[in-house]
Amino acid sequence: MTRSRTPLVDGWTLALAGPGDGAADGHPAPPSPDTVPKTPVTVPKTLPDTLPDSVPATVPGTVHTDLLAAGLIPDPYLDRNELDLDWIGHQRWSYRCRFDAPPAAERTDLALDGLDTVATVLVNGVPVGRFANQHRSHRIALDEVLRPGPNEVEVVFDSAWEYARDLERMLGPRPNAYPTPFQFVRKMACNFGWDWGPSLVTAGIWRPVAVETWDTARIAGVRPLVTVDGAVGRVRVEVDVERSAGRDAALTAAVAVAGQRAEVAVAPGAGTVTVELAVPDVDLWWPHDLGDQPLYRLDVELHAAAAGDLGDAGPQLLGAWSRRIGFRTVELDTSPDATGSAWTVVVNGVPVFARGVNWIPDDCFPSRITRERLAARLDQAVQAHVDLVRVWGGGIYESEDFYELCDERGLLVWQDFLFACAAYPEEEPLRSEVLAEARENVQRLMPHPSLVLWNGCNENIWGYFDWGWRDELAGRSWGAGYYLDLLPAVVAEVDPTRPYYPGSPYSGSMDRHPNLDTHGPMHLWDVWNQRDYTAYREHRPRFAAEFGYQGPPTLPTLRRAVHDEPLRPDSPGMLHHQKAEDGNGKLARGAAPHLPEAATFEDWHYLMSVQQSEAVRFGVEHLRSLRGRCMGSVVWQLNDCWPVTSWAAVDGDGRRKLLWYGLRDAYADRLLTVQPRDEGLAVCAVNDGGDTWSGPLTVRRMSLDGDVLAEWSASFEVAGRAVAQVALPAAVCTPDRPSAEVLVAETGDGEQALWFFVPDRELALPDPGLDVEVAPSGDGCRVTVRAERLARHVVVLADRWDDDARCGDGAVTLLPGRTHAFEVTGARPPGAVRDGDGLRTLHGVTRR
């Protein structure tokens, strides 16, 4: 038996390959001693005038991280180092590795799971493959070139920049949202720079490489189609078989799941065989807020002639494949209704209000993203009561690890095909790449129950309608053929169990504007870009797939990444770590009507963080209060790929920003919120739990000093997965002094909603009269804060005591006479905690 797999992990080296086909001509050269990076943090003070002949390389990895590990470049994420590293993406690079010929077999293959991106593979100096798609894997038969004993594999990467520019020249320019040709190469688009990401155009072997041997035949692909029919789970497994040359032996494919087993003979000459199994009384897989996540192991084996028992790796076993699957149904309900048409994800027959976040690659260098890191990030999503993650189209088709972790956690995943913010050419060679890439990734990801939706593109249909593209294109292709024909055909052919939708936003027809509030998913970007955040209330979408508001990273992350002295919102490093067009201007204009001016950098950081949390909370509460008409709120964005001021809830070092806590509270199963309704105010009780929520509701209008000015009581009842609205009488919600009063709604079980009659900056905030006690607790402490009078946006700044300390709450508003205990892990304060020192309140900032 010669079936073997030898991963090529050790012994790789990286070298500059010099200009190939003239590819690197006319582009920035490698650094000379005069172009020493500005902020050498961990690198030598001078760089060699030429790079060494070669450096050790990590596979999977990327050129940037190898040069970083060799001490040849500074950390691209610090200060303005990005600017000095542009040359890397314009060079040709060569990776080499020696390996010993494996024991002879009928076939010896080089299996490459991912090359980034424009690559020529040579074995013993002989070119064996040329590729230009980061999102595909490749298998190369080596039998013709393999030698006994030592062999060498080399992968030469041409500049993705150059390749894209060449295709742009060949196919004609196409409009896009950024000044780079990212849509002319099948590579993670945000790598070229985005409005939250640096331009670090990578090259490298970003997924594993192995030498594999086999005889007779192997499993070349498996497509499990998993559905549920009443109480019966059904699995239809299509198995692709590849045979070695000249071998047409009788084969058997065996499939087993949940104690059920079937085997089917593979007829000589046949390339695909289908095996079907039924699992009675199957336990359903649910998103975490609706139920459990039972996963069943699905085993597929390929045997020569008759099969032995599964698991018996006897002499007849030719190949084995195994994944964990889950039984559930999923539909996208787009049925017409009185408003337009629904846009609702339905799992096991239950319509889900998606409490979602958008996801971007967690690092500009994806080979650094470990399973542990993904687990931590996805745990942060679940802990914020997120049930849906949208993998955005400017990144990657996420990894097996990502999807397995989502399967386990009951997170629904919406995966975009990789088209974002640009007009994409449909001509060759790109069209064939898109087709192959789509087929491969739909097949790769289809075992995962968490994957519930394939979406064609991010904002490209919107761009075509609204961003002047139509004129610029002058009839050239822009991607419509992908979104409306090619991609839906691939999903229907490869995985008909999954819904497909052409774009986000898209209104279901090219005859309608794509970003309507009556049909389809909508992106609410007027708010961040042009309008006050209270304008979220003017939108009544069927599903909000993107909306968000910026805030800075946490202070420890910021201080690690930016060493400006002094640190100011507009100091050079800060501006470099703010990639959005007029980002700081938008932050300042957004804050002006709501918040006081900041006297210090720390105050600015506090106010901008509070603003981000408040703005997004405001949007989420509004959208959830529309439950029924609206069935999704997907916040832009959960994570960052480096330390940057952005829309993220978790910063580039994985620390939770105030927004994360705001999201956690606004996404709780039970949400009480006060909303304007019919010229007055109403309390909305939103219930995304399964049980009825009911009880007394008390509404008080009180002065900020604590005097109760009006009080009203009622009872409320809201069924599971529903919203109830209780209109408030004018007497309780009409203030005498709007700047000095607050409306407080409270349920019997302690849920609370506040309504202020004026923006924060117009509040006549009294001195809150805080009483702060700190008591040790575990490895941290409990900070108990009592407010004599209203204390607005109280934040305990535990990360000032230790970079990795964490407070269990974000910005908390304390009513007069109330107490809140902030649980801090990982640090205790060096001294007393008071406003301005370890703790901040809005009153404290106003007073300065």
Q: Strand, coil or helix: what is 65?
A: helix
Residues 697-736 that bind ligand BMA (CB under 6 A): none
Output 66 or 459, the one with its CB closest to ligand BMA.
Answer: 459
Phi, psi of 781 (to 5 degrees): -160, 165
Strand partners, 670: 687
Q: How far is the CB of 503 from ligand BMA (least distance, A)?
A: 11
Closest-CA residue to 344 (of 356, 361, 328, 360): 356
Residues 656-685 that bind ligand BMA (CB under 6 A): none
Cα–Cα distance for residue pair 660/558, rounded to 1 Å: 17
- Is the CA virtual torsion 654, 74, 399, 214 positive or negative? negative
Cα–Cα distance for residue pair 700/698, rounded to 1 Å: 7
Output 419 or 755, the one with its CB closest to ligand BMA.
Answer: 419
Q: Is 140 left (phi over 0), alpha (psi -120 to 50) or beta?
A: beta
Q: Which of 196, 500, 601, 757 binds ligand BMA (CB under 6 A)?
A: 196
Q: Which of 84, 407, 416, 546 binds ligand BMA (CB under 6 A)?
A: 546
Q: Which stretch binds ligand BMA (CB under 6 A): 43-51, 57-65, 191-199, 312-320?
A: 191-199
Closest-CA residue to 726 (of 688, 689, 696): 696
Beginning with the edge strand found earlier in the chain, give each strand of the sheet holding 693-703 in spatial order.
708-718, 693-703, 741-747, 752-756
Output 388 or 794, the one with its CB closest to ligand BMA.
Answer: 388
Binding mask 368-397 for ligand BMA (x = CB under 6 A): --------------------------x---
- Is the CA virtual torsion 385, 387, 393, 398 positive or negative? positive
Q: Is 459 in the site for ligand BMA (CB under 6 A)?
A: yes
The number of residues making up the chain comes to 848
Q: How far is the CB of 515 from ligand BMA (least distance, A)?
A: 11
* 8 Å CB contact between 446 and 495: yes
Output 163 or 636, the one with its CB closest to ligand BMA.
Answer: 636
Cα–Cα distance for residue pair 499/491, rounded to 1 Å: 8
Binding mask 439-458 for ligand BMA (x = CB under 6 A): -------------------x
Binding mask 624-643 for ligand BMA (x = CB under 6 A): ------------x-------
- State both tokens at 601: 């950098």
Cα–Cα distance for residue pair 353/721, rounded to 1 Å: 8
Instruction: Count CB neighbours of 297 within 10 A.
Output: 11
Q: How far is the CB of 562 from ligand BMA (least distance, A)?
A: 21
Q: How far is the CB of 573 from ligand BMA (least distance, A)?
A: 21
- State both tokens at 101: 């010929």
Which is catalytic among the residues 212, 301, 440, 459? Answer: 459
Residues 399-428 that bind ligand BMA (CB under 6 A): 420-421
Q: Is 194 in the site for ligand BMA (CB under 6 A)?
A: yes
Q: How far is the CB of 528 from ligand BMA (least distance, A)?
A: 7
- State both tokens at 589: 């204009």
Output 381 or 635, the one with its CB closest to ligand BMA.
Answer: 635
Place of tokens 């046949």: 270
Q: How far is the CB of 489 from ligand BMA (least distance, A)?
A: 25
Q: Which stretch binds ligand BMA (CB under 6 A): 35-43, 194-202, 212-220, 664-672?
A: 194-202
Q: How far is the CB of 447 from ligand BMA (least distance, A)?
A: 28
Instruction: Count CB neighbours of 753 within 10 A.
Output: 20
Q: How far is the CB of 189 from ligand BMA (least distance, A)?
A: 9
Closest-CA residue to 710 (of 754, 741, 670, 667): 741
Output 37 or 393, the one with its CB closest to ligand BMA.
Answer: 393
Output 159 or 504, the one with its CB closest to ligand BMA.
Answer: 504
Does 459 participate in catalysis according to the annotation?
yes
Which positions are catalytic?
A: 459
Residues that bind ligand BMA (CB under 6 A): 194-196, 394, 420-421, 458-459, 546, 636
